[in-house]
Structure 1
Amino acid sequence: MSQPSRYLKLPFSFDLERLRAELTRLEASQWISHFNTSAYENNWLCLPLRAVDGRIDHIMPVNEGQFQDTVLLQDCPYMREVIDFFQCEKTSIRLMSLEAGGIIKEHRDDATSLEDGITRLHIPINTTPDVLFRIDGEEVHFSAGDTWYLNASCLHAVRNPGTQARVHLMLDCVSNAWLENVFLEAGWVARPKSKYPDSSINDDNVLVVIEQLRASGHSAGIRIADELDAIRLAG
């Protein structure tokens, strides 16, 4: 049986010359250091093109506010064309720059997969073949101008040993039927659906979870424990 897709190259490529021309116009903008400073070495910078309330100082990918395009996108008609090509709602859209010699340490971004509802796409603008993702132990190069899916809930890291910054256009898309059809045609293998209501619960840990819920003594916890036990016994 094929393993669920941790990454996937989609059949869409874009004009690097036009993307790089617009990136050059944005280079003087106020790039923001990534908020998780313990997760990287050297500079890992972000430039928000779509953010909560359209704020150019806001790079958090998830928030309770309303996502809107920032003013930076107004001067980037081709990037806008690329973004609009994908027939789905978008939340956060950022340019992500990893400085030459930079390292993004292994980490997970929870609930960022097609199955979880947020599909994270990367379109590399500036990169070299020696820039590698490490995804659940496998090293992969995301080629320039192409469209790549990363299941960011997998353990992943990035290393840029080159002499120039690696810059990706990164789109967080709301999963829908259009995306799922594109992925299936590209050879995507879905993650098996969890039989438990919480995807973090599985047959290996369900008994521990049930025991903890019952030990809490709360009626709601005991009720959930009983429901989990019934699902477990039903197989």
Structure 2
Amino acid sequence: MTAPSTHLRLPLRFDVARMQQEIARFAATDWLAHFNTGAYENGWSVLPLRSAGGDARHIMSLDDVAYADTPHLAHCPYLRQVIASFDCEVGAARLMALDAGAVIREHRDPGTALADGVTRIHIPIRTSQQVLFRIDGETVHFSAGHAWYMDASCRHAVENRGTAPRVHLVIDCVTNDWLEHLFASAGFVPKPPPKYGDASINDGNVQHIIASLRATGEPSVLAQAERLAAIYHAVAA
């Protein structure tokens, strides 16, 4: 059985030299230190090209706020073309730089897999063979100019062992038929649905959850407990 795709090179390629020329226009003061300082060492910064409300000084996701181009993107005609080549709704788009010697510690970003409705795409602009992702224990290098998918809901970490900063264009795409067809053409293997219908429930905690639900005595909750119990016993049989 083929394993689900935790990462995938998509059949899209972009002009690295043109992208490098455009990002060279930005000053050091245009970049924002990543707010999650506990997640990395030695320098991780962001330059928003599309953000909530189009604010060039804002890098966090916000509910009920439309995404829009920031003023930075107006200076990048080729990067606008790259983003527009994705025939789907685009939420956040940003340049993400990882300094030489920097490390992003292992973590998960829930809700960023193709099946979740928001698909995160990386396009390396400046990189080297010393820039390595570790995704569910597998080490991968994302080559420059290609579009790469990474299921960021998996355990992943990044390190830049090179001597120069790494810069990726990172785009959050809203999953649609065009994107699903693109992934299928690249050989994407989807993850199976969660066994218990909820990714937070697994064989290690399901019996405790069943007992807790039964303890409530509520008919609707008891029905949920029995559904989980039936799945558990069917698998164990």
Query: TM-score w.r.t. structure 1 length?
Result: 0.92
Does 1:200 find its partner at 2:200?
yes
Question: Structure 1 runs of 4+ off > 6 angstroms?
Answer: none
* Aligned partner letter, 2:64: E
SS at match of 1:25: coil
What runs of 5+ residues in structure 2 fail to find an aligned partner?
A: none
Q: CA RMSD in A?
A: 1.9
Q: Which residue of 2 aligns with 1:52?
A: 52
Q: Which residue of 2 aligns with 1:211?
A: 211
Kindly, what percent of the aligned residue pairs are identical?
A: 53
Give the distance between the partners of 1:175 and 1:143, measured in 2 at CA. Answer: 23
* Aligned partner letter, 1:130: Q
Q: Which residue of 2 aligns with 1:30?
A: 30
Give the distance between the partners of 1:119 and 1:103, measured in 2 at CA. Answer: 23
Q: Which residue of 2 aligns with 1:185?
A: 185
Count of residues in Structure 1 that have an aligned counterpart in Structure 2: 235
SS at match of 2:115: coil
Residues 61, 91 of structure 1: 8 Å contact kept: no
- For residue 224 of structure 1, report the CA deviation from its aligned partner: 3.4
- For residue 223 of structure 1, report the CA deviation from its aligned partner: 4.8
Q: Which residue of 1 aligns with 2:167?
A: 167
- For residue 228 of structure 1, report the CA deviation from its aligned partner: 3.2
What runs of 5+ residues in structure 1 fail to find an aligned partner?
A: none
Q: Which residue of 1 aligns with 2:2?
A: 2
Q: 1:217 to 1:36 in 2, by over 3 A?
A: farther
With 219-228 and 165-174 compared, the bigger mean Cα shift is at: 219-228
Q: How does 1:86-235 map to 2 (within 5 A)?
A: 86-215=86-215, 221-229=221-229, 232=232
* Aligned partner letter, 1:119: T
- For residue 115 of structure 1, report the CA deviation from its aligned partner: 1.1
Residues 11, 147 of structure 1: 8 Å contact kept: yes
- For residue 29 of structure 1, report the CA deviation from its aligned partner: 4.5
Query: TM-score w.r.t. structure 2 length?
Result: 0.92
Q: Deviation string for 1:145-202 (max 9, x for gaps)? A: 1110000011111110111100000001111111111111101100011243322224
Q: 1:174 to 1:26 in 2, by over 3 A?
A: same
Residues 127, 143 of structure 1: 8 Å contact kept: yes
Residues 100, 162 of structure 1: 8 Å contact kept: yes
Give the distance between the partners of 1:221 and 1:27, measured in 2 at CA. Answer: 56
- For residue 222 of structure 1, report the CA deviation from its aligned partner: 4.1
